[in-house]
Homo-oligomer: A and B are copies of this chain.
């Protein structure tokens, strides 16, 4: 492999000049630069980024880790982040923390050993804390995605309360009154959003309408089926991937048509929602990615104290498709 020195010799200049030919704004004659780049191209030379990292004491690498590859939310964000990093001249080091044996900690260790300049991650546990502390001390920048268990670190997340609120509000606006809310049980903000929307619409909300699904799929399906019989709702709002999948499958098995017999709204734009024309609550992915990159590169205008971690909260929004039709309403 051709090196800096080889190119220098062939072009009849010193290695320093070769370096200068590759950086913009350095004092070098245009004629010389052109000649060197020409020679470099002939010899298939490109600067070795590992050597450059070593000397420059910064790698131009940003580590990205997400826990759940199957989750389209993360994949969507990750690919956009990679794109934007590249535009800024950085490289992305992507790893998935949900594989067997690929804990978040292992991913962080690999990034540390590679001397990444920054990390964008969706922290799942606290086990990485000591390592993160030491990396922070070294100057590595961190950005938390979606979750934010670490105080003192910038973060970007969704206002799940708001997303839930917008969704429920839309269903009420369309005249629906008996709505079933299928949750995973632990998501407080989303439940709050629903309650807020009901209150604002002035519609009483029976606690039974909010189903905290069991982890076992067949039990969970039985839960939904039972409430379907008990309440006979005109709409279902499924708040998680799990809930959405089970709900759709059940409706399908019971030959309940959407939107004719039942309105369906899903939180998060799963791949099959588009195909089946199901309305969803989705996220401003482009902003999400751009903000993550701006934060990790510290290129965002720090209008406030740079020592105070920034928390950015983005609003999910309703993406209307064709799974919710106007409901005549039974009490309005």
Residues of chain A at the chain B interface (Cβ within 8 Å): 1, 44, 46-51, 53-54, 59, 69-70, 75, 79-80, 82-83, 86-87, 91-96, 99-102, 106, 109-110, 112-115, 131, 134, 138, 245, 248-249, 252, 255, 257, 270-272, 275-277
Please name 28 pairs of A and B residues whose Cβ atoms are closer than 8 Å in the assembled complex, sorted by A. A1-B115, A46-B112, A46-B113, A49-B113, A49-B114, A50-B51, A50-B53, A50-B114, A50-B115, A51-B54, A79-B99, A82-B95, A82-B99, A82-B102, A83-B99, A83-B100, A83-B101, A83-B102, A86-B102, A87-B101, A91-B93, A245-B275, A248-B275, A249-B277, A252-B276, A270-B271, A271-B272, A272-B275
Which 7 A-B pairs rank lowest in CB-CB distance, beginning with the nearest?
Answer: A272-B272, A44-B134, A50-B53, A94-B94, A83-B99, A50-B50, A1-B138
* Distance between A106 CB and nearest chain B CB, rounded to angstroms: 7
Number of chain copies forming the complex: 2
Complex CA–CA separation, A82 to B44 (angstroms): 29
What B residues does A270 contact at CB under 8 A?
271
> Nearest residue in B to A76 (C-beta to C-beta)?
B69
Q: When the two chains form their complex, are residues A46 and B252 in contact, meaning their CB atoms are under 8 A apart?
A: no
Complex CA–CA separation, A69 to B94 (angstroms): 13
Name the one of B59, B96, B248 contacting A50, with C-beta atoms under 8 angstroms.
Answer: B59
> Nearest residue in B to A84 (C-beta to C-beta)?
B99
Complex CA–CA separation, A54 to B271 (angstroms): 43
Complex CA–CA separation, A31 to B213 (angstroms): 55
> Nearest residue in B to A80 (C-beta to C-beta)?
B99
Q: When the two chains form their complex, are residues B115 and A91 in contact, meaning their CB atoms are under 8 A apart?
A: no
* Distance between A50 CB and nearest chain B CB, rounded to angstroms: 4
Complex CA–CA separation, A128 to B69 (angstroms): 28
Complex CA–CA separation, A173 to B132 (angstroms): 58
Q: When the two chains form their complex, are residues B92 and A95 in contact, meaning their CB atoms are under 8 A apart?
A: yes
What B residues does A91 contact at CB under 8 A?
93, 110, 114
* Distance between A30 CB and nearest chain B CB, rounded to angstroms: 24
> Nearest residue in B to A258 (C-beta to C-beta)?
B252
> Nearest residue in B to A138 (C-beta to C-beta)?
B1
> Nearest residue in B to A107 (C-beta to C-beta)?
B86
What B residues does A92 contact at CB under 8 A?
95
What B residues does A134 contact at CB under 8 A?
44
- Given the known interface contacts A48-B54, A86-B106, A271-B272, the answer about A96 and B79 at a Cβ–Cβ threshold of 8 Å is yes
Complex CA–CA separation, A44 to B275 (angstroms): 50
Q: When the two chains form their complex, are residues A48 and B113 in contact, meaning their CB atoms are under 8 A apart?
A: yes
What B residues does A83 contact at CB under 8 A?
99-102
Q: When the two chains form their complex, are residues A271 and B70 in contact, meaning their CB atoms are under 8 A apart?
A: yes
What B residues does A100 contact at CB under 8 A?
83
Complex CA–CA separation, A86 to B277 (angstroms): 40
> Nearest residue in B to A75 (C-beta to C-beta)?
B69
> Nearest residue in B to A249 (C-beta to C-beta)?
B275
* Distance between A48 CB and nearest chain B CB, rounded to angstroms: 6
* Distance between A281 CB and nearest chain B CB, rounded to angstroms: 19
What B residues does A138 contact at CB under 8 A?
1
